Amino acid sequence: MLETAAPETAAPPAPPVAWRALLAVAAGKLAIHLPLAGAYGFHRDEWYYLACGRRLAWGYVDHPPVAPLVARLVEEVAGPSLVALRTVPALLGAAIVVLAGLMAREMGGRAWAQGLAATAVLASPIFLLTHHLFQTVVFDQLAWAAATLLVLRLARTGDSRLWLAVGAVAGVGLLAKHTVALFGIGLVAGIVATPLRRQLRSPWPWAGGALALAIVLPNLLWQAAHGWPSLEFARNNNADMADELGVAGFLGVQAAFVGPLVLVLFAAGVAFLCGRRGRPFRWAGVLWLAVTALLLAIGGKPYYPAPSWPAVLAAGAVAAEALAAARGWRRLRGAVPAAVVLASLPLAWVAL
C-alpha cells in the first residue's frame, strides 16, 4: 500500500467556508466585468484565438490548444460575439476570487479573512485587467489558483494523494498556457526549501508529476514535430525585457499591478509565511520569490508572477484577521475591505 506522508505538525481543522461572503465577492466581480464586456471592440488577441479556434490543433506557435478550443466552443454557441467571449474570463475571474478565499481558509482564516482575501484579488488592477479580455492569461491564473489551493490543503492535512489532483490541474493548465511550468519550478523550490520536502518520501508527488506530463504530452509531441516554435517565440518575445525595465522597474510595475492598500496586505502575507503560524504554508512564499527571481534573471514580463499572488494575499488576510482579533478592532471588519476597494479605484479605472 502506498504511504501517505504526514505534515511535520498536525494543523487544526480548517474553519467553515464563508460561502456567503465568497459568493458575494464573486457576484461583485461579475457585476464589474459583464457590463463592460462589449467595450472598445475586439482585442487583436481575441481575433487571433477565434482564428486559431477555426483551425484546431494540439499546438500553435505561441500558445497551447485550450484557449482556441474554448473560443471555438463560444463561437459555435453564440457566434463571433464579443460579449459571449468575454463572459468566459469574467466567470473564470469570479472562480479565482473564490479560490483565493478558500486559500485563506486552508491557512486558518475564518469568514472575514476569506472575504478579505477574495476582495484583495478582486481589487488588484492586474486581475481586473486580465479578467476583462479573452486571453490565455486567465486560464493560467485559474490553473495556478486551483493547484495552489490543493497544495495548501495537502500541507495542512498531510494527504499525499492530493498530488494526483495537483498533477491533473497542472497538466490541463499546461495545455492552456506554458507559463504554468513556472508554477512547477516554483513549487519544486518551495518543496525543497520548506518542511514540505518530507512529501518527497512518498511516491505521490512523483505520480502527480508523471500525470501532468502525460496530459501535456500531445502538445509536447506537436512542439517537437514543428521544431519547438513556442520556445523560439518565448525567446524573441521576452528579449531584452530585463534590460528595458531593470530590477527596480520590474518590481515597480508589480507593485502597481497589486494595488496600493493591497500591497500592504501582500507584505503582511510575506510576514505571515515567514512566521511560526505560517510555517506549513511557507512554500507558497518561496514559490512567489523563486518565480519572481527567475523572471528577473531570464527577462520575463512583469505580470507573469501574478498567479502566485493570491496565496500571499490570502496569507495577509489571515494575518490581518488575527491582528484585528488580538487588538479588538471590530470596526475594521467593514472598513478594511472597503478601503482596499476604494484605494484601487483609480488604477481600476485605467485597467478596465
Q: What is the pLDDT of residue 9?
A: 47
Alpha helices in the chain (DSSP H): 19-33, 44-53, 66-78, 82-106, 111-123, 125-130, 136-157, 162-174, 180-193, 204-225, 229-237, 241-258, 260-274, 282-298, 309-327, 332-351
Compute the distance between CA of residue 183 and CA of residue 144 in angstroms, rounded to an integer. Answer: 7
Compute the distance between CA of residue 242 and CA of residue 260 in angstroms, rounded to an integer. Answer: 24
Q: What 3-state DSSP class applies to 4?
A: coil
Which residues are within 8 A (CB) of 45 and not within 5 positions of it... i.e. 6 or more apart? 133, 134, 135
Place of cell 468566459: 88
pTM of the model: 0.91
Per-residue pLDDT of the chain (352 residues; tens, 9 = 90+): 444 544 444 557 889 999 999 999 999 999 999 999 998 899 999 999 999 999 999 999 999 999 999 999 999 999 989 999 999 999 999 999 999 999 999 999 999 999 999 999 999 999 999 999 999 999 999 999 999 999 999 999 999 999 999 999 999 999 999 999 999 999 999 999 999 999 999 999 999 999 999 999 999 999 999 999 998 888 877 655 555 667 777 777 778 788 777 888 899 999 999 999 999 999 999 999 999 999 888 877 888 899 999 999 999 999 999 888 777 666 677 677 777 777 777 777 787 8
Nearest 10 degrees: Cα torsion 9, 10, 15, 21: 50
Place of cell 475586439: 42
- Judge whether 129 and 305 are in contact, CB under 8 Å: no
Tell me how far CA of residue 143 lies from CA of 61, 172, 188, 234, 341, in angstroms: 21, 8, 16, 20, 25
